[in-house]
Amino acid sequence: MAILIDPPMWPAHGTVFSHLVSDSSLDELHEFAQDAGLPHRAFDRDHYDVPLARYDDLVARGAETVSATDLVRRLVRSGLRVPARQRPERLDSVLLRRWNQLAPGHEATGEALVARWSQMDRHYHSGTHLLAVLNSLELLRVEGEEQGPYPQALDFAAWYHDAIYTGTPGRDEDESAQLAVTDLTSMGVDQAIIDETARIILLTTTHAPESTDAAGKIFMDADLEVLARPEEDYRRYTAGVREEYRHVPEDLFREGRAKILQQLLDKPTLFETATGKRLWEDKARENLRRELTELRA
């Protein structure tokens, strides 16, 4: 475990900047930065940008000096690296194209939604998650999974299911569903599609669709696909979740997170569709068991 800093060589705002990272834990990085008096606004998803004037002090405080190449290499190896393609500024144009395909003629609504998903305090519930859900829905459709009577509602539900996110279970889903109803009504969307969109969003409160609910099952699987990512991507997901709850003390977060993971593992199956079970069930359980073991260590 180490705090790393590369040479001050990145020009901006009339000076040059270094990158400060941890090769093991965002909690470790934030603790070091707080002790050094670095403002949280200097944090950019996986690193702090620090000006030349702070370089010597941070090294004196214990930051290990490494080359820029070695810093990136060790950050990638840690699983904490946020790739450029997943940063909001790259995602925005991709997401806007997807929205305009879904709802042509309503660009302003799409831009407002993308702005919500791109807020800087979102570390997991971000545009990356939105795009992942859209892509997972597409995969499940290609595999022939049932979609229910209103397939378009699934896409609208993806766009709105975390459009409002404050980390308050229940209220977030309610307010996101209300936003969907307001926007889609003003867009002139068919009432049956609006009702189905809101229903699916509210279902994400429990992630427990009825056995006959085809739309609910396919959407819940798309939303939970992240649990089955390769280990490096899964660790990036868990780091993002921890960052969104950084206001929660470590012991309380570990206790709450462990409870959620155990509840998931106690379910007969994590995924509802045949494709989800085939592609994601085993890897998801492996990831959950490993994280739970680490939380309880």
Q: What is the chain's alpha carbon radius of gyration, rounded to the nearest angstrom?
A: 21
Please report, for residues 31, 77, 198, the alpha-carbon distance to residue 86 in angstroms, rounded to integers and kept in the order given: 25, 17, 27
Domain termination site, one of 48, 81, 114: 81
Name the 3-class secondary structure at 151: helix
Identify whether residues 58 and 92 lie together within a single domain.
no
Identify whether residues 126 and 52 lie together within a single domain.
no
CATH code, domain carrying 158: 1.10.1300.10
The C-alpha atoms of residue 90 and residue 45 are separated, in whole angstroms, by 14
Identify whether residues 56 and 91 lie together within a single domain.
no
**pLDDT, tens digit (0-9, with 9 covering 90-100), for 116-155:** 998 878 888 999 999 999 999 999 999 999 999 999 999 9
- 201 contacts 161 by C-beta, under 8 angstroms: yes
Identify whether residues 167 and 217 lie together within a single domain.
yes
User: Which DSSP helix (H) or strand (E) runs through 273?
Assistant: none
Domain limits for position 46: 3-81
**pLDDT, tens digit (0-9, with 9 covering 90-100), for 258-288:** 999 999 999 999 999 999 999 999 999 999 9
Identify whether residues 162 and 263 lie together within a single domain.
yes
The mean pLDDT value of the chain amounts to 92
Nearest Cα to 124, choosing from 18, 44, 263, 244? 244
**pLDDT, tens digit (0-9, with 9 covering 90-100), for 12-47:** 788 889 999 999 888 889 999 999 999 988 998 889
The H-assigned helical ranges of 37-150 are: 52-60, 68-78, 88-102, 107-117, 127-142
Domain termination site, one of 34, 54, 81: 81
| Domain total of the chain | 2
- 274 contacts 145 by C-beta, under 8 angstroms: yes
Identify whether residues 161 and 285 lie together within a single domain.
yes
Identify whether residues 143 and 50 lie together within a single domain.
no
Identify whether residues 74 and 156 lie together within a single domain.
no
Identify whether residues 164 and 286 lie together within a single domain.
yes
Tokens linked to 273: 């569709």
Domain termination site, one of 58, 81, 104: 81
Amino acid at 252: L
**pLDDT, tens digit (0-9, with 9 covering 90-100), for 184-221:** 999 999 999 999 999 999 999 999 999 999 999 999 99
